[in-house]
A and B are shown apart, each in its own frame.
Chain A
Amino acid sequence: MTRYSAFSLLRQTLRGHRGWDRAWRDPEPKRHYDVIIIGGGGHGLASAYYLAKLHGVRNVAVVEKGYLGSGNTGRNTTIVRSNYLIEPNAHFYEHSLKLWEGLSEDLNYNVMFSQRGVLNLAHSDGQMDAAARRGNAMRLNGIDAELLDREQVRVMVPHLDFSEHARFPIFGGLYQPRGGTARHDAVAWGFARGASALGVDIIQNCEVKGIKRQGNRVLGVETSRGFIGAGKIGMAVAGNSSHVAAMAGLKLPIESHVLQAFVTEGLKPWIDTVVTYGVGHFYISQSDKGGLVLGGDIDGYNSYAQKGNLALIEHCMAAGMQILPSLSRTRILRHWGGVMDMSMDGSPIIAKTPIDNFYINGGWCYGGFKATPGSGWVFAHTIAHDKPHPINAEFTLERFAEGRAIDEKGGGPTPNVH
């Protein structure tokens, strides 16, 4: 693998860019691996990378049914933050954010992580109190948070609706300066390249169709490219979690739902942070190409369709117009949907399962992109040691039956409201 650097770029430029190597190898599947990771999204690839890099487990395959990042990794709106209120979430997402901060250097691959901040608006005294409470909890956990008043928000994003006509006037907001955005598919490609260089086989166009089980162990996966044996299997298939877990005989506390997102035509620099609305569900940032990247709620009914309906689009745009009236002048260029693994408490499951050598990583709801490095890091630890790391020890499958749900929002077991 060539190291990417200013030198290698210069050398290739002089050769007309004809000498670049493949970023990762494209091997035929072997008959057996020590570990198979199902799912070549960011989480699966990060898990394989950290298994090889930190735990010396290098006889690993990542098996992906389509191409890398064809799932939610390449469909998400790339917001990275760690502004969580309750303990296990705060520590896990902060660990992930710290990994983001060094990721491009660690991978020798530019994931374009941009710490442009994340601003959650508040629109009432009650919401200001809630923002202060969350901010204080974050700071007690060592996470950066700043409570902004109306004037401070106005200085930061002057084109928000500060007029007298605003239906829900802006009272202030909670700001996390270290939050931001990253380039989604670069994250998949960077982890793939890093993992491949350490010996991991990345096998695309290889759908897992069955999981072979004997007693309380899994033996390998039946795929569209034949049977592949495994010492251990970890699944990281996001929206398809229930479907793949069922192949091993497990039923999960998860429903799949569709989440849509939108990109506008390219504009000159307009919003240099990430803004979320506090009344309707709406958030917006601007990509490096100038397109506004925006989205809102899930559609709200079970779906594996990767497409949504118009009612949600109208709702999302209406919410956007309430805080950013000038949005009405921009045109939407593209919109799409992704299948979210909505868990029953809104928090992920990164854990051992009742099957001895089968591990689950799922239940990411709509916030799993920011978790990518952290999720891979703790999942690799869990698989390598057959034991969770303290950071993911509470993200178990059993927590529901045990009454230890990790419900950040207090929404109860209704996946479509988390």
Chain B
Amino acid sequence: MLIRCPWCGERDHAEYFYGGDATVKRPAENAGVQAWNDYVYLRDNPKGPHRELWQHQAGCREWLVVTRDTLTHDILGVEPVKGAAR
């Protein structure tokens, strides 16, 4: 699996650290147990396109939002985390 880092180019996924689902949003501190349970534990876990965080740990160390198909492992898009719609 190759991920094209916007700064370093196409690199093996082993250079990256996987940060999981990029769509979960940290709730306000007083949002209540249910909102926090959703954030910490519940995941859509889709079969198909998944927006997820990867850090180019063995490269530029930037965090990226990668859209990847979990059924085929095709990479559908890579964006810097800053500015990416989340």
Please report A residues at the B interface, Cβ cutoff 8 Å.
240, 242-243, 246, 251-256, 300-305, 307, 309, 311, 344, 400-401, 413-414, 416
Interface of B is mostly: mixed
CA distance A303 to B45 in the complex (A): 9
| Residues in chain B near residue A301, CB distance under 8 A | 13, 18, 52, 68
Given the contacts A302-B50, A302-B52, A311-B12, A253 and B43 also touching, CB distance less than 8 Å: yes
- Closest chain-A Cβ to B64's Cβ sits at a distance in Å of 13
A401 to B6, CA, bound (A): 38
Expressed in whole angstroms, the Cα–Cα distance for A339 and B5 within the complex equals: 27
A–B Cβ pairs within 8 angstroms, 23 of them: A240-B47, A242-B43, A251-B38, A252-B45, A255-B20, A255-B21, A301-B13, A302-B20, A302-B45, A302-B50, A303-B73, A304-B47, A304-B71, A305-B70, A305-B71, A305-B72, A305-B73, A307-B73, A309-B1, A344-B41, A400-B40, A401-B34, A401-B37
Q: Please give, as numbers and ranges, the residues of chain A lying within 8 Å of B21 by CB-CB distance.
A: 255, 302
Within 8 A of A (CB), among B6-32: 12-14, 18, 20-21
- Interchain nearest-CB distance for A26 vs B (Å): 28
Q: Does B85 contact A (CB under 8 A)?
A: no
Known: A243-B45, A252-B45, A401-B41; 16 extra A-B contacts, CB below 8 A, are: A243-B47, A251-B38, A255-B21, A255-B43, A256-B70, A300-B18, A302-B52, A303-B73, A305-B71, A305-B72, A307-B73, A311-B13, A311-B14, A344-B40, A400-B37, A401-B33
Cα separation A6 to B20 with both chains bound (whole Å): 54
Partner of A416, one of B18, B45, B68, B72: B18
Q: How large is the interface on B (under 10, 10 to 19, 20 to 34, 35 or more residues)?
A: 20 to 34
In the complex, A243 Cα to B70 Cα: how many Å?
Answer: 12
What is the CA–CA distance of A263 and B24 in the complex, to the nearest angstrom?
38
Closest to B48 in A: A304
A414 / chain B contacts, CB cutoff of 8 Å: 20
Instruction: Name the distance in Å between A411's Cβ and chain B's nearest Cβ.
Output: 13
**Restricting to B29-86, which residues have a CB under 8 Å from any CB of A?**
33-34, 37-38, 40-47, 50, 52, 68, 70-73
CB distance from A403 to the nearest CB of B (A): 9
Name the A residues within 8 Å of B73 (CB-CB): 303, 305, 307, 309
Q: How far is the CB of B52 from chain A (nearest CB, A)?
A: 7
**With contact pairs A243-B47, A302-B52 given, residues A253 and B41 touching in the complex (Cβ less than 8 Å):** yes
A300–B72 Cα gap in the complex (Å)? Answer: 15
Q: How far is the CA of A252 from the CA of B1 in the complex (A)?
A: 27
Q: How far is the CB of A387 from chain B (nearest CB, A)?
A: 24
The residue on A at minimum CB distance from B36 is A401
Closest Cβ of chain A to B25, distance in Å, is 14
